[in-house]
Amino acid sequence: MKLRVLGCDGGRGLGYNSTSLLFNDHILVDAGTIQSELTLEEASKITDIFFTHSHLDHLVDLPFLFDATFESRKEPLRLHGTKHTIDALMKHIFNDTIWPNFSKLPTAEKGQFVTHVIQADNVYDVAGLRFTPIEVSHTVPTVGFKIEDDNGALIFSGDTGPVDSIWDAANDCTNLEAVILDLSFPVSEQGVADLSKHMTASDVEVELKKLKVDCDVYAFHYKVGLASTLEVQTKQLKHFGKEVKPLRHFKEMII
Ligand SMILES: [Zn+2]
Ligand SMILES: [Zn+2]
């Protein structure tokens, strides 16, 4: 699979893009950054978006996508999320107050998007790429994903504090190539990480002891302004003797 990292930070600011991972040029996981990294032609090719959870940094560019691609989109975009996430999108974003309900535009019969409720541990196949939601531990209901094709698998934790489910899935996986893991705050802000259910490098160090598979490990969700501190703390972490890498250093990778 091809992964293009449009954004992988825990907020937006100069040099920081919130989370959006583009797979095989047409499937997004989260919608924190779209228009600032894609041409209109590229954005028009997106067919599906899988959401980890309802927090703004993971969906903020979605409303603008419908504006931008209204003329060029031939088929409705498919939005996949847990019931909590889909309900939140419809109630708080596409409510005809914050933004138009594009699921009924241009016509009620054929709008700009359709919603699809997903459930943890089920497998969803989109053009040969298989997505398995995995429940994780965050302040709102959140899933990570195992994303797999015939060449390999990737596990993306989503926003989470320490959790076992990701590692159970990873250790069960026979073709795991990489794990992308929440690392949001410096070790000095452990209290904030605990409260907001994110991780520090100290948490990740403990968590990685649960991962029995030799694979690449990437850290994502650096909070705005903290990247230089967090990069140093990330690179001190090792898995099977290899440095954990900041995902923000990678624009594109083949898995
Ligand atoms: Zn987030
Ligand atoms: Zn979050």
The ligand placed nearest to the CA atom of residue 53 is 2
What CATH code is carried by the domain that includes residue 207? Answer: 3.60.15.10
CA of 139 to the centre of ligand 1 (A): 10
CA of 93 to the centre of ligand 2 (A): 16
CA of 67 to the centre of ligand 1 (A): 24
Contact 230, 222 (CB under 8 A): yes
Range of the domain at 90: 2-254
Q: Which residues contact 180 (CB under 8 A, 6 or more apart)?
A: 8, 21, 154, 155, 156, 157, 217, 218, 219, 220, 247
Note the pLDDT of residue 225. 97
Calculate the alpha carbon distances from 173 to 146, 148, 246 in Å. Answer: 9, 10, 23
Whether the pLDDT of residue 73 is over 90: the answer is no
CA of 102 to the centre of ligand 2 (A): 24
Q: How many domains does the chain have?
A: 1
Q: Each residue of 147-190: pLDDT tens digit? A: 999 999 999 999 999 999 999 999 999 999 999 999 999 999 99
CA of 30 to the centre of ligand 2 (A): 11
Average confidence (pLDDT) over 219-243:
98
CA of 20 to the centre of ligand 1 (A): 10
Q: Each residue of 81-127: pLDDT tens digit? A: 999 999 999 999 999 999 999 999 999 999 999 999 999 999 999 99
Contact 215, 178 (CB under 8 A): yes
Q: Each residue of 184-218: pLDDT tens digit? A: 999 999 999 999 999 999 999 999 999 999 999 99
Beta pairing partners, 146 = 132, 155
- Phi (first) and psi of residue 212, to 5 degrees: -95, 0
